[in-house]
Chains A and B, each alone.
Chain A
Amino acid sequence: MSDNKKELFEYVDSNNNDQQIEISKEDFEIVNKGARIHDVKFKSKPTTFLKDAFRRFRKNKSSVAGGIILGILLLGAIILPVALPSDIDSPHLDEQFLEPKLFPSGTGFRDGTKKYTDFKIAYDTVNETPGGFSKEAVLDDTLELMETEINTVNDYAYGGYVNFYNSVSTTSTTSMKSYPIEFNFENDYSLHVEFGKEPTSTTTMLGGYSVTFSYLDGEEQKDFLIRDFSNDYSDLDVNLTDLAIAAGLEEKAYSNCSVSFNLDYESGIVSQLLVKECTVESSNSEEQATLDEVFFDDANKMVRTARSTNGVDNIGYWTSTGNKGVYKSTLVRCNFVYDTYVAKFGHVNQIISQNTLNNYIQNGWMSYDVNVGVESFKILDENKCPITKVYSQTYDSRLGTVSLNCEVLKYRYLGYDEMPIYLLGTDKYGKDLLHSIFAGLRTSLLLGFGTAAVCITFGIIWGSISGYFGGNIDIVMERFTDILSGIPWIVIMTLCILHLGNNFGTFILALCLTGWIGVSSLTRSQFYRFKGREYVLAARTLGASDFRLIFKHILPNSIGTLVTSCVLIIPSVIFNEATISYLNLGLQGLPSLGVTLSENQQFINSYPYLIIWPSVIVALMMISFNLFGNGLRDAFNPSLKGSD
Chain B
Amino acid sequence: MKSYFLKRVVLIFFTAFIILSLTFILMKMLPDTPPAGFPAQVQAYYFDQVSLGYVYDMTSLRPDLGDYLYSYTDALNVVHYFYKVPIMQQYWNFLVNVLTRWDWGTSTSISVNSSAIAIIGERLPVTMELNVISIVIAVPLGFLFGIIAALKKNKLTDHVISTLVMIMISIPSFIVITFLLLIFAYSTGWLPSQRPSSTATSGEIAKAFIIPVCALSFGTIASFTRYTRAELCEIMSSDFLLLARTKGLTRTQCVIRHALRNSMVPIVPMIIGQFIGILSGSMILENLYGIPGIGRLFTDALTAKDYNVLMVDMAIFTLIGLAANLLVDLSYGIVDPRIRMGAKK
Q: Which A residues are within 8 Å of any B CB, using their own CB?
A: 62, 479, 482-483, 486-491, 494-495, 498-499, 571, 575, 578-579, 582-585, 597, 601, 604-605, 608, 611-612, 615, 618-619, 622-623, 625-627, 630, 642-644
21 A–B contacts, CB within 8 A, in A order: A62-B166, A486-B15, A486-B16, A486-B318, A490-B298, A490-B317, A494-B302, A579-B172, A579-B283, A579-B284, A582-B287, A601-B288, A605-B186, A605-B193, A608-B186, A612-B182, A622-B171, A623-B167, A627-B166, A642-B234, A643-B234
Interface pair B299/A495, CB less than 8 Å apart: no
Is B327 part of the contact surface with A, judged by Cβ < 8 Å? no
Interface of A is mostly: helix
Question: Looking at the complex, which of B24-32, B66-74, B96-104, B330-338 is the stretch in contact with chain A?
Answer: B24-32
Q: Told that A486-B16, A604-B186, A644-B230 touch, could you supply 12 new A-B pairs with CB distance under 8 A?
A: A486-B318, A491-B314, A494-B298, A495-B26, A498-B30, A579-B283, A579-B284, A583-B287, A619-B172, A623-B167, A623-B170, A630-B166
Question: Looking at the complex, which of B34-42, B134-142, B173-181 is the stretch in contact with chain A?
Answer: B173-181
Interface pair B288/A490, CB less than 8 Å apart: no
Chain B, 195-230, CB within 8 A of any chain A CB = 226-227, 229-230
Interface pair A583/B321, CB less than 8 Å apart: no
Which residue of A is nearest B26, CB measured?
A495
Q: A644 CA to B229 CA in the complex, in Å?
A: 10
Which residue of B is nearest A643, CB measured?
B230
Q: List B contacts of A630 (CB < 8 A).
A: 166
- Per a CB cutoff under 8 Å, which of B170, B186, B302 touches A583? B302
Is B163 part of the contact surface with A, judged by Cβ < 8 Å? yes
Interface pair A491/B186, CB less than 8 Å apart: no
Q: Shortest CB–CB separation between residue B159 and chain A, in angstroms?
A: 9
Q: A582 CA to B186 CA in the complex, in Å?
A: 21
Q: List B contacts of A584 (CB < 8 A).
A: 299, 302-303
Given known contacts A482-B11, A582-B287, A584-B302, is B170 in contact with A499 (CB within 8 Å)? no
Interface pair B174/A578, CB less than 8 Å apart: yes
Interface pair B26/A499, CB less than 8 Å apart: yes
Q: List B contacts of A483 (CB < 8 A).
A: 14-15, 18-19
Interface pair A571/B170, CB less than 8 Å apart: yes
Q: Shortest CB–CB separation between residue A80 and chain B, in angstroms?
A: 21
Q: A601 CA to B288 CA in the complex, in Å?
A: 8
- Per a CB cutoff under 8 Å, which of A479, A487, A612, A618 touches B318? A487
**Which of A486, A498, A611, A627: most chain B Cβ within 10 A?**
A486
Is B113 part of the contact surface with A, judged by Cβ < 8 Å? no
Q: Shortest CB–CB separation between residue B248 and chain A, in angstroms?
A: 29
Q: Shortest CB–CB separation between residue B332 and chain A, in angstroms?
A: 15
Q: List B contacts of A611 (CB < 8 A).
A: 178, 182
Interface pair A499/B174, CB less than 8 Å apart: no
Is B169 part of the contact surface with A, judged by Cβ < 8 Å? yes
Is B322 part of the contact surface with A, judged by Cβ < 8 Å? yes
Q: A488 CA to B170 CA in the complex, in Å?
A: 20
Interface pair B321/A488, CB less than 8 Å apart: yes
- Per a CB cutoff under 8 Å, which of B172, B280, B314 touches A578? B172
Question: What's the tally of chain B residues with a CB closer than 8 Å to chain A?
Answer: 50
Interface pair A622/B284, CB less than 8 Å apart: no
Q: List A contacts of B325 (CB < 8 A).
A: 486
Q: List A contacts of B276 (CB < 8 A).
A: 488
Task: For the complex of A and B, list the 8 residue pairs with the smallest distance between their C-beta atoms, beginning with the closest.
Answer: A622-B170, A623-B170, A626-B170, A491-B314, A486-B15, A619-B171, A582-B284, A615-B175
Which residue of A is nearest B307, CB measured?
A498
**Which of A479, A619, A625: most chain B Cβ within 10 A?**
A619
Q: List B contacts of A612 (CB < 8 A).
A: 182
Interface of B is mostly: helix
Q: A604 CA to B193 CA in the complex, in Å?
A: 10
Interface pair B302/A604, CB less than 8 Å apart: no
Is B233 part of the contact surface with A, judged by Cβ < 8 Å? yes
**Which of B174, B233, B303: most chain A Cβ within 10 A?**
B174
Q: Shortest CB–CB separation between residue B288 and chain A, in angstroms?
A: 7
Which residue of A is nearest B163, CB measured?
A62
Q: List B contacts of A486 (CB < 8 A).
A: 15-16, 19, 318, 321-322, 325
Q: Shortest CB–CB separation between residue B11 and chain A, in angstroms?
A: 7
Which residue of B is nearest A579, CB measured?
B284
Interface pair A488/B16, CB less than 8 Å apart: no
Chain B, 147-167, CB within 8 A of any chain A CB = 163, 166-167
Q: A615 CA to B317 CA in the complex, in Å?
A: 27
Question: How many A-B residue pairs lie within 8 Å, measured between CB atoms?
Answer: 115
Q: List A contacts of B182 (CB < 8 A).
A: 604, 608, 611-612
Interface pair B318/A642, CB less than 8 Å apart: no
Q: List A contacts of B283 (CB < 8 A).
A: 490, 579, 583
Is B23 part of the contact surface with A, judged by Cβ < 8 Å? yes
Chain B, 306-324, CB within 8 A of any chain A CB = 310, 314, 317-318, 321-322
Q: A214 CA to B39 CA in the complex, in Å?
A: 58
Q: A644 CA to B287 CA in the complex, in Å?
A: 31
Q: A368 CA to B19 CA in the complex, in Å?
A: 74
Q: List A contacts of B19 (CB < 8 A).
A: 483, 486-487
Interface pair A583/B172, CB less than 8 Å apart: no
Interface pair B29/A575, CB less than 8 Å apart: no
Q: List B contacts of A623 (CB < 8 A).
A: 166-167, 170-171
Q: A62 CA to B172 CA in the complex, in Å?
A: 20
Q: Shortest CB–CB separation between residue A100 and chain B, in angstroms?
A: 15
Given known contacts A488-B317, A488-B321, A601-B178, is B163 in contact with A644 (CB within 8 Å)? no
**Which of B11, B166, B186: most chain A Cβ within 10 A?**
B166
Which residue of A is nearest B27, CB measured?
A495
Q: A62 CA to B175 CA in the complex, in Å?
A: 22
Q: Shortest CB–CB separation between residue A532 and chain B, in angstroms?
A: 13
Q: Shortest CB–CB separation between residue B192 and chain A, in angstroms?
A: 13
**Which of A488, A491, A498: most chain B Cβ within 10 A?**
A491
Which residue of A is nearest B229, CB measured?
A642
Q: List A contacts of B287 (CB < 8 A).
A: 582-583
**Which of B15, B172, B280, B317: most chain A Cβ within 10 A?**
B172
**Which of B169, B175, B179, B287: most chain A Cβ within 10 A?**
B175
Q: A296 CA to B30 CA in the complex, in Å?
A: 66
Q: List B contacts of A604 (CB < 8 A).
A: 178, 181-182, 186
Q: List B contacts of A642 (CB < 8 A).
A: 229-230, 233-234
Given known contacts A488-B317, A611-B178, A611-B182, is B166 in contact with A583 (CB within 8 Å)? no
Binary flags per residue of B225-267, CB closer than 8 Å to A gives 1, else 0: 0110110011000000000000000000000000000000000
Interface pair A622/B174, CB less than 8 Å apart: no
Interface pair A490/B11, CB less than 8 Å apart: no
Q: Shortest CB–CB separation between residue B153 and chain A, in angstroms?
A: 10
Q: List B contacts of A626 (CB < 8 A).
A: 166, 169-170
Q: Shortest CB–CB separation between residue A489 and chain B, in angstroms?
A: 8
Q: Shortest CB–CB separation between residue B8 and chain A, in angstroms?
A: 11
Q: A626 CA to B283 CA in the complex, in Å?
A: 23
Q: Shortest CB–CB separation between residue B6 and chain A, in angstroms?
A: 16
Q: List A contacts of B230 (CB < 8 A).
A: 642-644
Q: List A contacts of B179 (CB < 8 A).
A: 615
